[in-house]
Amino acid sequence: MDEGWVSEIINELGENRDAYLNAVTPPVFQTSNFSFHSVEDFRSALRDETSTFLYSRGNNPTLNILSKKLAALDHAEESLVVNSGAGAIFIAVLANIKSGDHIISVENPYTWARKMFENVLPRFNVSTTFVDGRDVKNIEEAIRDNTSLIYLESPNSWTFYLQDLEAVAQIAQSRNIITICDNSYATPLYQRPIDLGIDIAIQSATKYLNGHSDVVAGVISGKREMIKKIFNSEYLNLGIGTTPFNAWLILRGLRTLPVRLERISKTTDAVVKFLKEQPEVESISFPMDSDFEQADLAKKQMTGGCGLFSFILRVAHVEDVEKFCQAMKHVLMAVSWGGYESLIMPAVAGMEKGEFDYKNPTHRRIRFYTGLEEAGYIIEDLQRGFEAVRVKNC
Ligand X SMILES: *Cc1c(COP(=O)(O)O)cnc(C)c1O
Q: Does 206 bind ligand X (CB under 6 A)?
A: yes
In the list 157, 187, 267, 278, the residue contacting ligand X (rule: CB under 6 A) is: 157
- Whichever of 86 and 198 has its CB closer to ligand X, that residue is 86
Q: Taking CB under 6 A as the rule, does residue 62 contact ligand X?
A: no
What does the alpha-carbon distance between residue 219 and residue 71 come to, in Å, rounded to a whole number? 9
CA gap 134, 302 in Å, rounded: 15
Q: Which stretch binds ligand X (CB under 6 A): 24-32, 83-91, 122-130, 239-247?
A: 83-91
The strand ranges marked E within 218-336 are 218-222, 281-285, 308-313, 332-333
For ligand X, give the closer residue by CB, 103 or 318.
103
Minimal CA–CA distance to 26: which of 254, 357, 345, 271?
254
Does 238 sit near ligand X (CB under 6 A)?
Answer: no
Q: Is residue 155 close enough to count as binding ligand X by CB under 6 A?
A: no
In whole angstroms, give the CA distance from residue 296 to residue 275.
22
Is residue 371 close enough to count as binding ligand X by CB under 6 A?
A: no
Cβ closest to ligand X, residue 308 vs residue 315: 308
User: Minimum Å distance from CB 84 to ligand X?
Assistant: 3
Residue 56 binds to ligand X (criterion: CB under 6 A): no
Closest residue (Cβ) to ligand X?
A: 85
Q: How many residues bind ligand X (CB under 6 A)?
A: 13
How many residues does this entry show for the chain?
394
Residues 6 or more apart whose Cβ sits within 8 Å of residue 167: 136
Residue 63: C-alpha distances to residues 80, 309, 320 (Å): 9, 32, 46
CB under 6 A: which stretch of 203-211, 226-234, 251-259, 268-276 binds ligand X?
203-211
Interacting residue with ligand X among 84, 191, 268, 278 (CB under 6 A): 84
> DSSP secondary structure string, 109-173?
--HHHHHIIIIIGGGGT-EEEEE-TTSHHHHHHH--TTEEEEEEESS-TTT-----HHHHHHHHH
Q: Is 216 in the site for ligand X (CB under 6 A)?
A: yes
Q: Which of 26, 61, 218, 305 binds ligand X (CB under 6 A)?
A: 218
Which residues of the shown chain bind ligand X in the complex (CB under 6 A)? 84-86, 110, 153, 157, 182, 184, 204, 206-207, 216, 218
